[in-house]
Amino acid sequence: MNFSKFLTEYFVKYASVNTQSDASKKSLPSSEGQKKLLDIIKADLESFGVADLKYQDDAVLIAKIPQNTDARPISFMAHVDTVDIGASPDVKPQVVEFTGDDIVLNKERNIVFKVSEHPDINAYKNQEIIMTDGTSVLGADDKAGVTVMTALAKYLMTENIPHGDVYLIFAPDEEVGLRGAYALDVSQLPKDVLSYTIDGGPVGEFGYENFNGAGVEIYIKGVSIHPGQAKGILVNPILVANDIIAKLDKLDTPEHSEGKEGFFLVTGIKGGASDAEIQMIIRDFDKAKFEERKTHLKNIVAEVQKAHPKAEISIDISDSYANIASTMGDDKSAVELVETAMKNIGVPIRVEPIRGGTDGAVLSVKGIPTPNLFTGAHEIHSVLYMLMVRRKIRQDIRLILQILLKLGKK
């Protein structure tokens, strides 16, 4: 089986399906394209000979490849949706040979990928790279993970690789709040399952620490009156909202943080004459600091409330997900196996803190610690999105097979 050829072909096929998720929709999946892709994946797996395929709630596709030896079960998870950044929803992937020169992505629109602005690409000289035409995201987040899983299914169905039960989970709507992961009924998986998401970045990147995350909604009810009669009466809720935001540390934001540093981020604000609303997120790797951030925000609201006694201000903070590392306990098998597998195939491992949320964070809170494997993608959530093809594909598949082989020997 030619993995590079298979994964290039199937990735291009999957990426060409519009699967942008829609945060405004409450349905699961939130877009028709996601259901279309799930059906395509199901048909592909059936054609490979995978018989145990089922939908949970017509939204989460779960495939099971039965064991052929007595070994610990393992599961892999990827999401089928792609992020909506306001670019074109129509993805036109193109395979290019990187020679070291700038790459013309779109001649008609004069869109050029400049090597000087993206020096990471120099590590992939004389290799094939899948890129966009500069008008859309590529969707390697996470159709690269989806494609790796379908390739793994075909390989296991055609080769005699010793393995325990293998579960492949294809979930929708990760980009709009990890909805597919929240919907997944983990009782369908064995309690001793080793679990991974395939949703990471460049080759060798491995993550099992991520932010603790929370969403925040602050609602402000002001007092409206004609501005000509407003003295001593008017309470402008937009200005009250501004006072709350102004009390946040201007350096405690994503654009001023890195590594394991947390932040506050105002994600939205809307208002009028009578009320206003602020949407925020809180992120921190450290659980104690995460809780301190919640308290700090509540204290800010209390201070502003005192300054505007006629206003009515409420704050609601809801946890989104937790740090995977804090859920692992004493069983570090999922991490140790990957470290061994990467060493065996000569892939330099880069353990990176995940500065975001993954489906694995949700599964971890549900009792199944789920680290995150790389996909080979760069420039994630950008129209300059790129996926390293030849070297990445062989390494990712071989890494997974190394894990399976090690489990098969137990």
- pLDDT tens digits, one per residue of 350-388: 998 898 888 999 999 899 999 999 988 887 777 766 655
Which of 82-86, 110-114, 359-363, 385-389 is least confident? Answer: 385-389
223 forms beta bridges with 235
318 forms beta bridges with 215
Same domain for 245 and 314, yes or no, is yes
Q: Is the dihedral of CA 104, 105, 111, 114 positive or negative?
A: negative
Same domain for 21 and 120, yes or no, is yes
Same domain for 78 and 177, yes or no, is yes
pTM of the entire predicted model? 0.86
Is the pLDDT at 401 greater than 80? The verdict is: no
20 forms beta bridges with 82
Structural domain including 271 reads 212-321
Same domain for 365 and 257, yes or no, is no
Same domain for 233 and 201, yes or no, is no
Among 276, 302, 321, the domain-final residue is 321
Q: Tell me, what DSSP letter sits at residue 249? A: -
Q: In terms of Cα–Cα distance, which of 357, 276, 274 is closest to 323?
A: 357
Same domain for 34 and 112, yes or no, is yes
At 349, is the pLDDT very low, low, confident or very high (cuts 50, 70, 90)?
very high
Same domain for 314 and 351, yes or no, is no
pLDDT at 408: 64
Is the pLDDT at 409 greater than 70? The verdict is: no
Tokens standing for 127? 């290799």
pLDDT at 385: 60
- The residue ranking higher by pLDDT, 362 or 345, is 362
Same domain for 232 and 246, yes or no, is yes
Same domain for 44 and 134, yes or no, is yes
- Residue 410, classed as helix, strand or coil, is coil
Among 273, 304, 321, the domain-final residue is 321
pLDDT at 85: 86
In the annotation, is 81 catalytic? yes
Catalytic-labelled residue, pool 22, 142, 174, 275: 174
Q: Write the pLDDT tens digit of every residue in 298-343.
A: 999 999 999 999 999 999 999 988 999 988 888 888 999 999 988 8
Same domain for 166 and 57, yes or no, is yes
Amino acid at 93: P
Amino acid at 104: V
- In terms of phi and psi (left: phi > 0; alpha: psi -120 to 50; beta: otherwise), the region of 129 is beta
Catalytic-labelled residue, pool 81, 142, 209, 359: 81
Those residues whose C-beta lies under 8 Å from the C-beta of residue 319, and which sit 6 or more positions away, are: 212, 213, 214
For residue 48, give the CATH number of its domain: 3.40.630.10
Q: Give the integer Cα–Cα distance in Å for 238 and 252.
A: 22
Same domain for 310 and 382, yes or no, is no
- Residue 205, classed as helix, strand or coil, is strand
In the annotation, is 277 catalytic? no
**Domain total for the chain?**
2
**Averaged over 64-80, what is the pLDDT?**
95
Q: How many residues does the chain have?
A: 410
Among 295, 321, 347, the domain-final residue is 321
Same domain for 147 and 285, yes or no, is no
Q: Write the pLDDT tens digit of every residue in 142-182.
A: 999 999 999 999 999 998 889 999 999 999 999 998 999 99
pLDDT at 86: 86
Q: In terms of Cα–Cα distance, which of 353, 332, 347 is closest to 397?
A: 347
